[in-house]
Amino acid sequence: MAYGRIASMKTRPGFRDEVVALLLSGADGLREAGCDLYLVGLSDDDETTIWVTEVWRSREHHDASLELPEAKAAIGRAMPMLTGEFTGQEMSVAGGLGL
43-88: pLDDT as tens digits: 889 999 999 999 999 999 999 999 999 899 999 999 999 999 999 9
Q: Where are the domains of the chain?
A: 2-87
* pLDDT tens readout for residues 7-32: 999 999 999 999 999 999 988 889 99
**CATH T-level fold of 2-87:** Alpha-Beta Plaits (3.30.70)
At residue 99, the pLDDT reads 79
Selection from 56, 6, 7, 4 nearest residue 33 by Cα: 56
pTM here is 0.92
Single-letter residue type at 41: G
Which one is predicted more confidently, 75 or 99?
75
Question: Could you tell me which residues come within 8 angstroms of residue 37 by beta carbon, excluding any fewer than 6 positions away?
Answer: 53, 54, 55, 98, 99
Write the CB contacts of 87 (distance below 8 Å, at least 6 apart in sequence): 7, 8
